[in-house]
């Protein structure tokens, strides 16, 4: 088995996929982003998650982006491949491909739109884990998928070999703390998937933050996570306050619309984004630009 997910910690960027205006992938831009993140102290990268526009990349592009990120990182930091799908067979196929490419772990979002039951979620993840021998991280983001994986189901899945973590993007810290307590006697770890509350969940025992904000403020987000992991509440809060404006405004429209516009404004990527997502609406541009200036990233 490859690197155990519990060794993956800290600030984990859910990396955007840079594109040209025509929507084609900007491979040189992708390479530059990976190098920048390593230089800025990002601890791990999620390749082709929701923020990476997984839903509009073809299967070939999906695996090619994962392969390129793994190649450029060259084992300097762990790479987590986004391999979730609302078809169990497709998720198995993507996860198998990620393992062959050399990913350190796979991140699997709950099946969206078809709204499986809790038993369906359990069987979906159990089947993937039994089919592909790679560390697997569950991903619960009910606001985006239309399905909520309950803590009881997560705790049940913690007994399945290969399932080593969960990205909790509910933004509900008390619920996250309950989950941490429920997983106390297991080897399964929790990662926050909500930038605004991540530092609090890490202080409560989570291992890191799978982050959108880290795309534009990688160094500060790395420092926030390290302070929280060191149980330095005052420092984690102080650092988080520096980027709290970004946590809010980067979700003024559907992710990754604002974060891709912000990175373009910073000179890091081009303007490309794929339909049905569209470039950031005019009324949000000045406030986002001000937030970038206020947090010192431009």
The residue behind tokens 């509910």 is: 170
Q: Look up 167 and say whether it is catalytic.
A: yes
Give the residue from 89, 81, 96 showing the smallest Cα distance to 49. 81
Q: Look up 125 and say whether it is catalytic.
A: no
Annotated ligand binding at 51? The verdict is yes
Annotated ligand binding at 137? The verdict is no
Instruction: Give the active site residue among 99, 126, 167, 260.
Output: 167
Evaluate whether 96 touches 131 at the Cβ level (below 8 Å): yes
User: Measured between alpha carbons, how far is 16 from 26 in angstroms, rounded to an integer?
Assistant: 11
Instruction: Give the active site residue among 112, 122, 125, 139.
Output: 139
Binding residues for pyruvate: 51, 210
The catalytic residue positions are 139, 167
Binding-site residues, in ranges, read 51, 210
């Amino acid at each position: 088995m490859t690197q155990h997910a519990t060794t993956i910690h800290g600030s984990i960027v859910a990396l955007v996929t840079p594109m040209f205006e025509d929507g084609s992938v900007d491979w040189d831009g992708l390479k530059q982003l990976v190098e920048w993140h390593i230089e800025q102290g990002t601890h791990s990268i999620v390749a082709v998650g929701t923020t990476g526009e997984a839903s509009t990349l073809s299967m070939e592009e999906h695996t090619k982006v994962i392969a390129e990120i793994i190649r450029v990182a060259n084992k300097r930091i762990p790479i987590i491949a986004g391999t979730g799908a609302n078809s169990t067979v497709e998720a198995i196929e993507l996860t198998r491909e990620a393992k062959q490419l050399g990913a350190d772990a796979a991140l699997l979002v709950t099946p969206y739109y078809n709204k499986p039951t809790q038993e369906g979620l359990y069987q979906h993840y159990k089947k993937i884990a039994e089919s592909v021998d790679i560390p697997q991280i569950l991903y619960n983001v009910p606001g985006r998928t239309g399905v909520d994986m309950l803590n009881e189901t997560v705790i049940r899945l913690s007994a399945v070999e290969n399932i080593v973590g969960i990205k909790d993007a509910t933004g509900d810290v008390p619920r996250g703390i309950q989950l941490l307590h429920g997983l106390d006697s297991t080897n399964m770890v929790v990662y926050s998937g909500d930038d605004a509350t991540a530092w609090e969940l890490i202080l409560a025992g989570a291992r890191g933050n799978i982050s959108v904000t880290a795309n534009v403020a990688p160094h500060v987000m790395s420092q926030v996570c390290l302070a929280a992991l060191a149980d330095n509440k005052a420092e984690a809060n102080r650092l988080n306050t520096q980027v709290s404006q970004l946590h809010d405004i980067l979700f003024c429209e559907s992710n990754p619309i604002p974060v891709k516009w912000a990175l373009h404004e910073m000179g890091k990527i081009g303007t490309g984004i794929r339909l049905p997502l569209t470039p950031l609406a005019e009324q949000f541009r000045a406030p986002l630009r001000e937030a970038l200036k206020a947090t010192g990233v431009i």
